[in-house]
Amino acid sequence: MELWHYFLLAGLGVIAGTLNVLAGGGSLLTLPVMVFLGLDGAVANGTNRVAILAQNVTAVGGFRKLGFSDMKLSFSLALAALPGGICGALLGTMVRGELFNRVLGGVLIGVLLLMTVQRLRKVKKSTADQGEAAETNSTGPSRRQLILGHLAMVVVGFYGGFIQAGVGFLLMAALHQVLGLDLVRVNMHKVFIVGFFTLAALIIFAIRFQVLWIPGLALAVGNSIGGWIGSQLSVLKGESWIRNALYVALLLMAIKLLWPG
């Protein structure tokens, strides 16, 4: 890699880290760029985990500084996601070359469709707003919601360990729709959960020699800055701003999908 590639990765990391914390989809930008710069798909997948781990560590610190922390629930959900994350990472180390590029392309399309469906469901805005107000009350998740939420973490962890890209959208859906948490607390838990299973995934990719540390650290510098920025904006701007960030993420993915070549 040339010197300017590292600066490119650091700059892209700021955007990706901010986007990951606010909504998700940052890895849908960084993974294709690393492949474009010549990295093998599996190596790009592993190298990306260095930045994701750094980003979520700083984001957790950012939320805690602003008084948003529920370590008991975060840790419980993260433990549920861990087995899936380990299995997904093992599978991820086996998917290489053209197959990885095809899988990533399929993921891009799948996430785009998921977000489009979610957007269409918001046509009944008044009904949705009333339902959300009931779901995000101060009583916290019910026992049934907690059980379903922990089961969902196993699946989310597997996907996150496998390819990472777009896992934020799945986590937001699980935490918001299943557990009924408001979007600020969704992001608070999300960064802890992703950081937790990402550490395990990174170890697995490193053992398989599928991590380039210098590019990963360059990307991590940017992602860390973006993670801090995202945590501050998430709390200061509130839910409506986060929803707008979701739509920005959708637009960025659509541009990537439609980009020629």
Question: Which pLDDT band, with edges at 50, 70 and 90, does 32 fall under?
Answer: confident
Q: At 95, is the secondary structure helix, strand, or coil?
A: coil
Distance CA 106, CA 17 (A): 22
pLDDT at 153: 92
All residues at 6 or more sequence positions from 189 whose CB lies less than 8 Å from its CB, including other chains: 70, 73, 74, 77, 171, 175, 181
pLDDT of 243 reads 58
Residues in the chain: 261
Give dist(CA 97, CA 43) in Å, integer.
Answer: 10
Average pLDDT of 4-26? Answer: 85
User: In the predicted model, what is the mean pLDDT of the chain?
Assistant: 79
Q: Is the separation of the CB atoms in 82 and 200 below 8 Å?
A: yes
Asked if the model's pLDDT at residue 219 lies above 90, the reply is yes
Question: 10 Å Cβ neighbour count for 206?
Answer: 16
Distance CA 166, CA 104 (A): 10
Per the listing, tokens 């993420």 go with: 249
Amino acid 204: pLDDT: 92
pLDDT in tens, 122-174: 544 444 454 444 355 456 778 888 888 899 899 889 988 888 777 877 888 78
The token pair that represents 6 in the structure block: 């590292």
Please give the residue that has the higher pLDDT: either 107 or 28.
28
Q: pLDDT tens digits for 78-130?
A: 999 999 999 999 988 887 666 666 666 666 666 666 656 655 665 444 444 54
Residue 63 CA: distances (Å) to CA of 69, 87, 245: 7, 29, 18
| Phi and psi based region of residue 76 (left: phi greater than 0; alpha: psi -120 to 50; beta: remaining) | alpha
At 140, which amino acid appears? G
Q: What is the pLDDT of residues 53-80, one digit of tens each?
A: 988 888 888 888 888 888 899 999 999 9
Instruction: Give the pLDDT confidence score for residue 112 in this predicted structure.
Output: 60
Token representation of residue 32: 């294709």
More confident residue, 246 or 217: 217
- How far is it, in rounded angstroms, from Cα 64 to Cα 241? 20
- For tokens 């399309």, the residue is 109
Percent of the chain with pLDDT over 90: 24
Question: Which position has the token pair 């009931």?
Answer: 134
